[in-house]
Amino acid sequence: MKKILIIGNSLSAWSVASAFINKKVNITIIGKKNNTFGAQQLSPNGFRALKKIIQNGDVKNIVYEIIKFQINSYNNNETKNLKNFYFNEFDLKYFSVSREMLINFLIKNVKNNIQINEIDKSCVGIIHREPGKLEVLTDNNEYISADIIIGCDGVNGITRKYVCGTTNIVKKQVFRGISNDKKKILLNQKTLELNFSIYGHFVSYPFVNNNKTYINYVFIPNRLFQNSNEILDKLKSISKFSQIDWNDGHFYIYEDEIQTIHKNNVLLFGDAGFSFEPHLAQVGNNIIEDASYLKFLVENTNSYDEIFENFSRNTCEKKRKLKSISNIVGITFGISTLTKLRNSLVSNFSDQLMSNFFKKIWYD
């Protein structure tokens, strides 16, 4: 029986483990559990893929449907509505999902179907002793052998370094917050809201966590305010968002062009393999989609070399496209000059144009 070692203990790790629920394999997950926080958007591709990797569970029980996408510009404490888009008018289903519930749902799915070993340790190195024989060294000096390693250890993990060597990583600041103010209009209208401001852009939407409804907020400072000492004060001065308890965080982007995501039976998955700007809300959705594709390959291909080769080729090509689109979208969201022109363009987007754009991202 193949011995598969998954390094990491977050969304990617449990999504990948779900890809093997119908196979006779020996799986070990090694990594420390993180505190999960807030929510993520679940676009139609992520929702579809999630249904495919879940064996006997109703995905609908953990998601919250979003019906409207509203784009505003926010200036001098005044909101100006630029565009409203209703997903159901184009037969599109859009959701939000609590990260905690999503990961717990995946864990339950895996454990209900296969025996899994869990090791609450960090890995410090990968050793390739001979062809087909891998070993991982843990932080308590233990060696764990494996036939296959799947790296789900994020942007700064050890598997990325093993497969790709040194990678140039760009670190960008992001602020997140959640609120449980029930009166919030977003909640009533099941709305995903995007607000442009002179400091950067805000994304907010409702989600449900253990029967309670919250609003998830993300603020991405634009280029002028990235890593500025004043940005928290600026955020507090914006009345619409001043009540949020903002948490400072980062996201990371690989500067280098993606070439390959596997070497010597070590496969990179999720942020360890690809990372791009979050403006399309596709990084996490693509993790679930990739797990569904990997599940298909695992169940329909005999050789692991072939699985890795197909998986690497097809996912790299897709991520290259998403990366460049997301980059352009991020520049547009974050511009500090010509904002009137951007706002006027957005106001004049037709519903059909937006639907075509979304379908390109979610269905291509």
Ligand X SMILES: Cc1cc2nc3c(=O)[nH]c(=O)nc-3n(C[C@H](O)[C@H](O)[C@H](O)COP(=O)(O)OP(=O)(O)OC[C@H]3O[C@@H](n4cnc5c(N)ncnc54)[C@H](O)[C@@H]3O)c2cc1C
Smallest gap from residue 243 Cβ to ligand X (A): 20
Contact pick of 53, 148, 271, 290 for ligand X (by CB under 6 A): 271
* CA 181/CA 152 separation, integer angstroms: 35
Structure-block tokens of residue 80: 């100006």
- In the complex with ligand X, the residue whose CB is nearer, 41 or 179, is 41
Tokens of 18: 């779900």
Q: For residues 153 and 193, which CB has a smaller minimum distance to ligand X in the complex?
A: 153
Pairing mode of beta strands 116-119, 26-30: parallel
Of residues 111-130, which lie at the interface with ligand X (CB under 6 A)? 122-123
Neighbours of 318 (CB within 10 A): 17
Six token digits for residue 103: 């990961």
Which tokens sit at 126? Answer: 């990968």
Spatial CB neighbours of 29, under 8 Å, sequence gap ≥ 6: 6, 8, 9, 13, 14, 17, 116, 117, 118, 119
Which residues make beta-bridge pairs with 119? 30
Site for ligand X in 176-195 (CB under 6 A): none
Which residue stretch of 80-88, 229-237, 281-289, 290-298 sits at the interface with ligand X (rule: CB under 6 A)? Answer: 281-289
- For ligand X, give the closer residue by CB, 301 or 357: 357
Of 4, 5, 12, 292, the one binding ligand X (CB under 6 A) is 12
284 makes contact with ligand X (CB under 6 A): yes
Rule CB under 6 A: say whether 150 interacts with ligand X.
no
Q: Which of these segments, 62-70, 140-148, 224-232, 270-278, binds ligand X (CB under 6 A)?
A: 270-278
160 to 179: interface string for ligand X, x by CB under 6 A: --------------x-----
Query: How far separated are the first and last CA of the chain, in Å rounded?
Result: 36
At its nearest, how many Å lie between ligand X and the CB of residue 281? 4
Task: Supply 97's token pair.
Answer: 């999902």
- Going from the C-alpha of 313 to that of each of 19, 209, 223, the distances in angstroms are 18, 36, 33
Q: Residues binding ligand X: what is the number (CB under 6 A)?
A: 31
Q: Should residue 151 be labelled a site residue for ligand X when binding is judged by CB under 6 A?
A: no
Tell me if 281 sits within 8 A of 192, measured CB to CB: no
Q: Which stretch binds ligand X (CB under 6 A): 20-28, 73-81, 151-159, 312-320?
A: 151-159
Question: Among residues 130 and 364, whose Cβ is nearest to ligand X?
Answer: 364
Q: How many residues does the chain have?
A: 364
Q: How far apart are alpha carbons 228 and 309 in whole angstroms?
A: 43
Measured from the CB atom, the residue of 139 and 317 that comes closer to ligand X is 139
DSSP-derived secondary structure for 227-264: T-TTHHHHHHHSGGGTTS--EEEEEEEE-SPP--SEET
CA distances from 229 to 52, 176, 226, 234, 252 (A): 45, 17, 9, 10, 20
Residue 158 Cβ vs ligand X, minimum distance, rounded to whole Å: 5
- List 157, 177, 200, 330, residue binding ligand X (CB under 6 A): 157
Distance CA 241, CA 219 (A): 10
Closest CA to 41 of 244, 204, 257, 265: 204
Among 50, 158, 258, 298, binds ligand X (CB under 6 A): 158
Q: Is the CB of 190 or the CB of 301 nearer to ligand X?
A: 190
Interaction mask 64-103, ligand X, x per CB under 6 A: ----------------------------------------
User: Toward ligand X, which CB reaches closer, 45 or 72?
Assistant: 45
List, in sequence order, every residue forming a beta bridge with 250; answer none if it has no partner: 173
| 107: contact with ligand X by CB under 6 A | no
**Shorter beta-carbon distance to ligand X: residue 11 or 92:** 11
200 interacts with ligand X by CB under 6 A: no
Which residues of the chain form contacts with ligand X (CB under 6 A)? 7-12, 30-32, 34, 40-41, 122-123, 152-154, 157-158, 174, 218, 251, 270-271, 278, 281-285, 287
